[in-house]
């Protein structure tokens, strides 16, 4: 029976399977179906495909019908539900000195939230701007999320101000990229620094405030990164910490279902946040890296190779989006939507990147990532030397062969 089908049939079947599979995946993620409901949905899709084949519809007609069905479904399900009121709801936001945190604190305060905003420096420009522009509802707290004592003090201060009221939202925004470069060149202190803030610090904050969130049946909204799901070159330390964070949040999401606490993760595209556009900071980090690398390792890679990576990152950071509104709007949706999503893509290109990662072969998706971030032109010095040696050796062998041919003649 198998040999009766031609190549166009299998191409048609593949396209149909990818189309329906992708549609079902989106519907399941959007609808938050349980495991049993998911199984039923997939079985239904399988029966649908089998029945459509039985009708022997032409490929174009069948795909057109499926496309029309999907468009109708999307138009119905994409209609935004009215957001919940912000008044009377309290939200705790980490990392509000600058970037997403500061912009989110200002926006949520303007909506009517009671905002608790943490900063590293109470006398810094970010803290002063929040005090100057926000309402008296906003409370500033000096918190380094890697310091358990400061986290506990912030919890006590928040409890004292909330009274018997629980906490509606926790926005885990604080994060750091200590340095970036090839994994072998990244110092162990870089790995530990990223993990301390991005994973352990966020873990500590989340665990500490969970009783207040459970009391209010509230929301946890975490700003993560596509680097936690995709192997971006030169982001091994940062990406590893975000991967740990993503897995923890996914686990927590399942565990908190009985408590009525909903967990969302936001995956932004590239934005000018924190130290990303601070040239002096990255120059200092680069100098420290050069001084800390073992001489033999620096010789193998070359100082010019390390410097090129730094320059490429500067170029990437300069071209990043300065408009935070897609991320801020997404955070607001996750906090106030009656049915918040598990994952939000904030910014252009993120959904497309995940589509390529999910449906394309690894070889293609890896090339896409390499072209997307830092486009290296230099090879490590040791490989350049080896390549030059090989070229010299080939040239020498060719000359010897030519001489031998002359002697034979």
Tokens of 201: 């610090």
Alpha-carbon distance 373 to 190, whole Å? 20
CB 376 within 8 A of CB 180: no
Side-chain-side CA neighbours of 194 within 13 Å: the count stands at 24
- CA triple 362-177-96, angle to 5 deg: 125
Q: Which of 239, 290, 247, 246 is nearest to 266 (CA)?
A: 246
Q: Any idea of the CA torsion for 62, 63, 65, 71, to the nearest 10 degrees?
A: 170
Residue 344 bears catalytic tag: no
Alpha-carbon distance 199 to 237, whole Å? 12
CB 79 within 8 A of CB 72: no
Longest CA–CA span in the chain (Å) reads 102
CB 212 within 8 A of CB 162: yes
Alpha-carbon distance 202 to 250, whole Å? 14
**DSSP H or E stretch at residue 66:** helix 59-77
CB 321 within 8 A of CB 197: no
Alpha-carbon distance 334 to 221, whole Å? 7
**DSSP H or E stretch at residue 365:** helix 362-372
CA distances from 125 to 128, 139, 141 (A): 5, 16, 14
β-sheet bridge partners, residue 267: 345
Catalytic residue among 238, 301, 305, 344: 238
Alpha-carbon distance 104 to 40, whole Å? 40
Please identify every residue annotated as catalytic.
238
């Amino acid at each position: 029976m198998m040999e009766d089908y031609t190549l166009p049939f299998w191409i048609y079947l593949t396209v149909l399977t990818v189309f329906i599979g992708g549609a079902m995946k989106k519907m399941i993620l959007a609808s938050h179906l349980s495991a049993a409901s998911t199984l039923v949905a997939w079985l239904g899709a399988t029966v649908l495909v089998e029945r459509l084949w039985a009708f022997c519809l032409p490929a174009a007609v069948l795909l057109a019908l499926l496309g029309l069905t999907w468009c109708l479904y999307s138009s119905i399900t994409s209609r935004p539900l009215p957001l919940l009121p912000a008044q009377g709801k309290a939200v705790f936001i980490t990392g509000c000195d600058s970037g997403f945190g500061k912009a989110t604190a200002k926006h949520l305060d303007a909506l009517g939230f009671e905002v608790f905003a943490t900063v590293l420096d109470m006398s810094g420009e970010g803290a002063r701007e929040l005090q100057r522009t926000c309402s008296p509802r906003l409370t500033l707290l000096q918190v380094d999320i890697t310091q358990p004592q400061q986290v506990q003090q912030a919890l006590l201060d928040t409890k004292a101000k909330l009274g018997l009221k629980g906490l509606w939202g926790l926005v885990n925004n604080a994060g750091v990229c200590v340095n970036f470069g090839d994994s072998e060149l990244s110092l162990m202190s870089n790995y530990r620094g990223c993990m301390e803030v991005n994973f352990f610090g966020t873990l500590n904050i989340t665990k500490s405030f969970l009783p207040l969130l459970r009391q209010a049946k509230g929301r946890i909204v975490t700003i993560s990164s596509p680097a936690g799901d995709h192997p971006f070159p030169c982001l091994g330390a940062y990406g590893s910490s975000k991967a740990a964070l993503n897995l923890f949040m996914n686990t927590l999401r399942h565990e908190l279902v009985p408590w009525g606490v909903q967990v969302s993760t936001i995956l932004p595209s590239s934005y000018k946040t924190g130290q990303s556009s601070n040239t002096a900071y990255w120059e200092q980090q680069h100098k420290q890296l050069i001084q800390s690398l073992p001489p033999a390792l620096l010789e193998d890679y070359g100082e010019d190779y390390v410097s090129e990576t730094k320059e490429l990152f500067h170029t990437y950071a300069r071209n990043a989006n300065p408009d935070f509104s897609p991320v801020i709007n997404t955070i607001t949706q996750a906090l106030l939507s009656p049915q918040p999503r598990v994952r939000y893509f904030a910014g252009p290109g993120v959904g497309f990147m995940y589509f390529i990662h999910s449906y394309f072969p690894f070889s293609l998706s890896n090339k896409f990532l390499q072209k997307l971030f830092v486009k290296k032109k230099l090879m490590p010095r040791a490989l350049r030397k080896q390549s030059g040696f090989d070229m010299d050796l080939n040239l020498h062998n060719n000359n010897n062969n030519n001489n031998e041919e002359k002697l034979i003649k």
